[in-house]
Amino acid sequence: MKRDEFLTHLGKDIVLVFFTSTDCSPCKTIKPYVQEKLATCPYVCLQLDRTIDADVYAALQSKKQVKGVPSLLAYAKENRTFMANLSISGTNENEIDCFFESLEYL
C-alpha cells in the first residue's frame, strides 16, 4: 500500500492499523492474539507488513508514529493525517488489551 491509498482509509470511521513483518519473531508470537482482537472489532482494520507496505511504514516512521514492529495504531473518525491518536508497540498482552479498551474514547 502507498501513502496516498493509506490516507484514503482515514477520516470516515475509526481505523486500526496492525503493522508486522514476516521476518519478525515477536510479530509471529503476538499476531494470533491481535488478530483475534481485530476480528471482534467494529472498526476498519488494516493489517500491513513493514516490508510489503514499506512506503506507509516509512511515512509513519518519519512522523515518529511507529518505533518498530509489531505496532498497533488507532485513528479517530475525524483524523485524516499520519499522526495516530493512539499507538502501541510490542508484545505485552496487557498493554494490547488496554489499547483495545481505550478505543471507546476515540
pLDDT (tens, 9 = 90+) of the chain, 106 residues, equals: 999 999 999 999 999 999 999 999 999 999 999 999 999 999 999 999 999 999 999 999 999 999 899 999 999 999 999 999 999 999 999 999 999 999 999 9
Q: For the chain, which domains are there? A: 3-105 (3.40.30.10)
Residue 100 grid coordinates:
483495545
Residue 40 grid coordinates:
471482534
Please say whether the beta carbons of 50 and 19 come within 8 A: yes
- What is residue 18's predicted lDDT score, i.e. its pLDDT? 98
Q: How does pLDDT run across 51-77, given as a tens digit for each residue? A: 999 999 999 999 999 989 999 999 999
